[in-house]
């Protein structure tokens, strides 16, 4: 019977399905029955043979496929044009409606402002209508909001909320990156960030929304969040723990004919390091880490983290994917030197400007 | 090509509609899916159309691609479904059984010189592979040549993981027997 067990284990071992215990069992089986090792070796050799595929056939098929795709594409392009034509009228009506709402809102706000100014004048206290917390590049901060929610603000970021925060609403506006640990309460906590709206009751999550970056990312650590995107009305995205929603920002679609397309939304998972730390929120612990991202993105992160200017002269270098860190107490020079060990580049340092060359 | 690379290509296709990444994916999967689909359709032209349709679907749904948890499995499932649709069109009355699949092995026949074995042993191995029951051969091929996991094959073929394990044991044992016979012959000579 050991024969069957042996082939079962070998099959698992070769296909990468064997657990550590099973691999050990296989080894000891071979030791106990040396007559098996000959067959095992040959079958292993056979297994490792790669299939020879005819690339030219695939190339030819690809050409045919692209032709077929093009034919289909022009059909669907016409369909899209037709839809645009039809939807013109409602859009116009919508704009008019929007205009009247804006006007109404303006009247209400100015009225309210007038009353508020009138009310505050006698008491002579200067209550800020909008509270704002911001960090400069190179600094991070932790704030406790009036509702006892805690917010860590990453470098070069800004969080705004109005004076009624915590009483009638919990609305905030974020530019940049922040980690939220929201206190549970009946009033929903809402974050507006670059065209998306994140609604929560009580959870912990990270929002990254720098205006000069390609995407706005929301990573959920625990609890539940609901996200709506301005340009995709009627769609609600619900995140579960360890999920991440990435929304492509407008600047990515530079081509004018792409403008009318819906923004791209991707649901993925948060990234874990080998020791199971969530990389998206490591900055909260004052750790800077790069995980398989382009040098360009790394440079932008470093600029914010250290409050410097970084210029990469070589395009290929800018696209190179690098990883490194976590950096905690290192100076920028030490961090760059650490990256130099794995990646081939040079840098010069002058005042707060860093030039990266090949 | 490993999983990370496929993931990267899928990412590029999904996020920016990168045509080069799309082509790379196509070239990588085409021969694999063609032979997989052929197992169902038993017709080269039909399979070529199926694979092209699979990729057509991938292109038109590219923005939702990253919501797919396992692209490798997804593309095999799509190919299976489209292949079965195609077969169904041909013969609506006959239900399809996994025992009807025709699977061609590429890697084992590919280059006998890569293996340090005699022609005789090579023949034995070929016979052993050919004599595997079709279902067993399909499972063996999907795991060995297409790099699917036991769980993925189980999901793809609607079988239990235990069945996959048993079929893999049978396949390897048959191969091992073919090799062991050779050893005996070698010792006798």
DSSP string covering B118-144: -HHHHHHHHHHHHTS-HHHHHHHHHHH
Q: Which of B90, B110, B129 is the last residue of a domain?
A: B90
Residue A77 placed within a domain: no
Q: What is the pLDDT at residue B70?
A: 85
Q: What is the pLDDT at residue B113?
A: 53
CA B84/CA B80 separation, integer angstroms? 6
Q: Which of B90, B119, B135 is the last residue of a domain?
A: B90
Does A245 contact chain B (CB < 8 Å)?
Answer: no
Q: What is the nearest CA distance from A116 to chain B, expressed in angstroms?
A: 47
Query: Could you say which residues from 1 to 30 on chain A have a Cβ atom under 8 Å away from some Cβ of chain B?
Result: 3-4, 7-8, 10-12, 14-17
Number of domains chain B is built from = 2
Kind and range of the H or E run holding A243: strand A243-248
- Classify each residue of B65-102 as buried b or exposed e, where b means 16 or more C-beta atoms within 10 Å of its C-beta: bbeeebbbbbbbbbbbebbeebbeeeeeeeeeebeebe
The CATH number of whichever domain residue B13 belongs to comes to 1.10.1740.10
Q: What is the nearest CA distance from B93 to chain A, expressed in angstroms?
A: 31
Q: Kindly state whether residues B73 and B38 are assigned to the same domain.
A: yes
Q: What is the pLDDT at residue B54?
A: 94
Q: Kindly state whether residues B28 and B62 are assigned to the same domain.
A: yes
CA B48/CA B34 separation, integer angstroms? 6
Q: Which of A7, A46, A248 sits opposite B115 (nearest CB)?
A: A46
CA A112/CA A288 separation, integer angstroms? 45
Does A56 contact chain B (CB < 8 Å)?
Answer: no
Q: Kindly state whether residues A139 and A257 are assigned to the same domain.
A: yes
- SS3 assignment, position A247: strand
A174: closest CA among A211, A121, A225, A124? A211
**Which of B173, B182, B186 should one mutate to test binding to chain A, selecting the residue with the greatest count of A CBs within 10 A?**
B173
Q: Which of A43, A51, A57 sits opposite B175 (nearest CB)?
A: A43
The CATH number of whichever domain residue B110 belongs to comes to 1.10.10.10
A162: closest CA among A217, A112, A228? A112
Cis peptide bond N-terminal to A316, omega within 30: no
Q: Kindly state whether residues B19 and B75 are assigned to the same domain.
A: yes
**% of chain A at pLDDT higher than 90:** 10
Q: Indicate if the alpha-carbon torsion angle A230, A231, A232, A237 is positive or negative.
A: negative
Q: Which of B69, B90, B111 is the last residue of a domain?
A: B90
Q: What is the nearest CA distance from A295 to chain B, expressed in angstroms?
A: 17
Residue-number span of the structural domain to which B183 is assigned: 101-188
A346-358 pLDDT, tens digit each = 888 887 888 888 8
Torsion of CA A279, A284, A286, A288, to 10 degrees: 30
Q: What is the pLDDT at residue B26?
A: 93
Do A252 and B16 count as a contact with CB atoms less than 8 A apart? yes
Q: What is the nearest CA distance from B88 to chain A, expressed in angstroms?
A: 23
**Mean pLDDT confidence for A148-174:** 88
Max mean pLDDT among A292-301, A318-327, B175-184 falls in A292-301
Q: Which of B31, B56, B106 sits opposite A58 (nearest CB)?
A: B31
Q: Kindly state whether residues A14 and A95 are assigned to the same domain.
A: no
Q: In A, which residues are within 8 Å of B108 by CB distance?
A: 46, 49
Q: Which of A269, A299, A327 is the last residue of a domain?
A: A269
- SS3 assignment, position A212: coil
Q: How many CA atoms lie within 13 A of A292 on its CB side?
A: 8
A228-237 pLDDT, tens digit each = 888 777 788 8
Q: What is the pLDDT at residue A331?
A: 84
Q: What is the pLDDT at residue A99?
A: 59
Inform me whether the pLDDT recorded for B28 exceeds 50: yes
Q: Kindly state whether residues A108 and A210 are assigned to the same domain.
A: no
Do B169 and A42 count as a contact with CB atoms less than 8 A apart? no
Q: Kindly state whether residues B78 and B116 are assigned to the same domain.
A: no
Closest-CA residue of B relative to A253 is B16
**% of chain B at pLDDT higher than 90:** 31
Dig out the tokens for A335 from the structure. 């961090």
* ipTM of the modeled complex: 0.73
Considering only residues A164 and A274, tell me which one the structure prediction assigns the higher pLDDT: A164
Max mean pLDDT among A38-42, A254-258, B89-93 falls in A38-42
A128-143 pLDDT, tens digit each = 467 888 888 888 888 8
Q: In A, which residues are within 8 Å of B63 by CB distance?
A: 264-265
Q: Kindly state whether residues A164 and A218 are assigned to the same domain.
A: yes
Contact A200, A192 (CB under 8 A): no
Q: Kindly state whether residues B53 and B130 are assigned to the same domain.
A: no
Q: Kindly state whether residues A260 and A306 are assigned to the same domain.
A: no
Residue A234 placed within a domain: yes
Q: What is the pLDDT at residue A9?
A: 92
Closest-CA residue of A relative to B52 is A65
Q: Which of B15, B110, B183 sits opposite A52 (nearest CB)?
A: B110
Q: Kindly state whether residues A328 and A217 are assigned to the same domain.
A: no
Do B107 and A52 count as a contact with CB atoms less than 8 A apart? yes
Q: Kindly state whether residues A136 and A223 are assigned to the same domain.
A: yes
A181: closest CA among A211, A163, A201? A201
CA B148/CA A163 separation, integer angstroms? 57
Residue B95 placed within a domain: no
Q: Residue B159: which residues within 8 A CB-CB, separation 6 or more? A: B139, B153
Contact A141, A130 (CB under 8 A): no
A288: closest CA among A279, A296, A278, A297? A279
Residue-number span of the structural domain to which A331 is assigned: 287-357
Q: Kindly state whether residues A120 and A190 are assigned to the same domain.
A: no
Dig out the tokens for A294 from the structure. 């382009």
Residue B83 placed within a domain: yes
Dig out the tokens for A35 from the structure. 């007559």
Q: Kindly state whether residues B84 and B123 are assigned to the same domain.
A: no
Q: Kindly state whether residues A242 and A316 are assigned to the same domain.
A: no
Q: Residue A63: which residues within 8 A CB-CB, separation 6 or more? A: none
Q: What is the pLDDT at residue B175?
A: 86
Contact B167, B134 (CB under 8 A): no
Q: Kindly state whether residues A295 and A312 are assigned to the same domain.
A: yes
A144 strand-pairing partners: A150
Q: Kindly state whether residues B125 and B86 are assigned to the same domain.
A: no
Inform me whether the pLDDT recorded for A46 exceeds 60: yes
Q: Kindly state whether residues B76 and B18 are assigned to the same domain.
A: yes
Q: Kindly state whether residues B44 and B106 are assigned to the same domain.
A: no
Q: Indicate if the alpha-carbon torsion angle A358, B4, B10, B14 is positive or negative.
A: negative
Q: Kindly state whether residues B62 and B41 are assigned to the same domain.
A: yes
* Rg over CA atoms, chain B: 19
Q: What is the nearest CA distance from A252 to chain B, expressed in angstroms?
A: 9
> What is the pTM for the complete model shown?
0.43
Q: What is the nearest CA distance from A178 to chain B, expressed in angstroms?
A: 24
Q: What is the pLDDT at residue A119?
A: 44
Do A43 and B176 count as a contact with CB atoms less than 8 A apart? yes
Residue A299, burial from CB neighbour count under 10 angstroms (0-12, 13-18, 19+): buried
**% of chain A at pLDDT higher than 70:** 77
Computed over every residue of chain B, the mean pLDDT equals 81
Inform me whether the pLDDT recorded for A125 exceeds 50: no
A260-308 pLDDT, tens digit each = 455 677 777 888 776 667 888 888 878 888 887 888 888 888 888 888 8
Q: What is the pLDDT at residue B92?
A: 59
Contact A152, A140 (CB under 8 A): yes
Q: Kindly state whether residues A170 and A226 are assigned to the same domain.
A: yes
Q: Kindly state whether residues B52 and B72 are assigned to the same domain.
A: yes
User: pLDDT band at A345, cuts 50/70/90?
Assistant: confident
Torsion of CA A272, A274, A276, A278, to 10 degrees: -30
Compute the C-alpha angle A137/A140/A145, nearest 5°.
125
Do A50 and B56 count as a contact with CB atoms less than 8 A apart? no
Q: What is the pLDDT at residue A43?
A: 84
Do B173 and A3 count as a contact with CB atoms less than 8 A apart? yes
**Which of A14, A48, A58 should one mutate to test binding to chain B, selecting the residue with the greatest count of B CBs within 10 A?**
A58
Closest-CA residue of B relative to A8 is B169
**Mean pLDDT confidence for A54-74:** 79
A194-225 pLDDT, tens digit each = 888 999 877 889 999 988 788 889 998 888 88
Residue B44 placed within a domain: yes
Inform me whether the pLDDT recorded for B81 exceeds 80: yes
Q: Kindly state whether residues A239 and A324 are assigned to the same domain.
A: no
Number of domains chain A is built from = 4
**Mean pLDDT confidence for B106-135:** 70
Residue B96 placed within a domain: no
Do B172 and A10 count as a contact with CB atoms less than 8 A apart? yes
User: pLDDT band at A89, cuts 50/70/90?
Assistant: very low
User: pLDDT band at B82, cuts 50/70/90?
Assistant: very high
Residue with tokens 């709506």: A228
Q: Kindly state whether residues B167 and B142 are assigned to the same domain.
A: yes
Residue with tokens 């929002």: A207
């Amino acid at each position: 019977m050991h024969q069957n067990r042996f082939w079962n284990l070998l099959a698992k071992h070769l296909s990468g399905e064997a657990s550590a215990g099973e691999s050990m069992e296989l080894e000891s089986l071979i030791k106990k029955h040396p007559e098996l090792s000959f067959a095992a070796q040959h079958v292993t050799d056979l297994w490792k043979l790669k299939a020879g595929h005819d690339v030219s056939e695939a190339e030819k098929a690809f050409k045919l496929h692209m032709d077929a795709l093009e034919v289909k594409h022009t059909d669907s392009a016409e369909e899209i044009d037709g839809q645009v034509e039809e939807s013109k009228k409602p859009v116009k009506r919508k704009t008019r409606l929007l205009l009247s709402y804006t006007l109404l809102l303006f009247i209400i706000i100015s009225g309210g402002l007038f009353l508020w100014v009138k009310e505050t004048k006698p008491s002579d206290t200067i209550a800020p209508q909008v509270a704002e917390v911001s960090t400069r590049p190179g600094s991070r901060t932790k704030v406790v909001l009036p509702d006892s929610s805690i917010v860590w603000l990453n470098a070069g970021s800004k969080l705004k909320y109005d004076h009624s925060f915590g009483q009638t609403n919990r609305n905030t506006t974020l530019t940049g990156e922040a980690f939220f640990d929201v206190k549970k309460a009946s009033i929903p906590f809402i974050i507006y960030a670059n065209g998306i709206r994140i609604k929560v009751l009580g959870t912990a999550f990270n929002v990254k929304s720098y205006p000069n970056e390609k995407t706005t990312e929301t990573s959920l650590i625990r609890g539940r969040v609901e996200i709506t995107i301005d340009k995709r009305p009627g769609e609600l995205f619900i995140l579960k723990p360890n999920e991440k929603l990435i929304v492509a920002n407008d600047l990515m679609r530079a081509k004018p004919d792409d403008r009318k397309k819906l923004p791209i939304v991707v649901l993925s998972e948060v990234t874990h390091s080998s020791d199971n730390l969530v990389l998206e929120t490591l900055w909260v612990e004052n750790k800077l880490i790069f995980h398989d991202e382009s040098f360009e993105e790394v440079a932008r992160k470093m600029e914010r983290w250290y409050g410097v200017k970084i210029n990469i002269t070589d395009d290929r270098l800018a696209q190179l994917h690098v990883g490194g860190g976590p950096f905690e107490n290192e100076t920028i020079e030490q961090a760059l030197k650490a990256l130099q060990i794995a990646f081939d580049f040079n840098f010069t340092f002058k005042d707060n400007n860093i030039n990266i060359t090949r | 090509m490993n999983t990370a690379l496929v993931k990267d290509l899928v990412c590029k296709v999904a996020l920016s509609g990168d045509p080069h990444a799309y082509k790379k994916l196509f070239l990588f999967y085409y021969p694999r899916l063609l032979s997989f689909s052929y197992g169902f359709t038993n017709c080269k032209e039909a399979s070529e159309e199926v694979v092209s349709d699979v990729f057509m679907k991938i292109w038109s749904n590219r923005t939702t691609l990253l919501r797919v948890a396992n692209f490798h499995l997804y593309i095999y499932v799509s190919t299976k479904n489209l292949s079965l649709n195609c077969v169904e069109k041909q013969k609506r009355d006959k239900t399809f059984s996994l025992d009807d699949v025709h699977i061609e092995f590429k890697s084992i026949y590919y280059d006998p010189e890569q293996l340090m074995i005699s022609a005789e042993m090579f023949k034995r191995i070929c016979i052993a592979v050919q004599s595997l029951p079709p279902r067993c051969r399909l499972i063996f091929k999907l795991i060995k040549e297409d790099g699917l996991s036991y769980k993925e094959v189980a999901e793809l073929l609607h079988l239990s993981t235990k069945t996959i394990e048993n079929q893999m044991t049978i396949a390897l044992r048959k191969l091992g027997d073919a090799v062991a016979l050779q050893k005996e012959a070698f010792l006798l000579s």
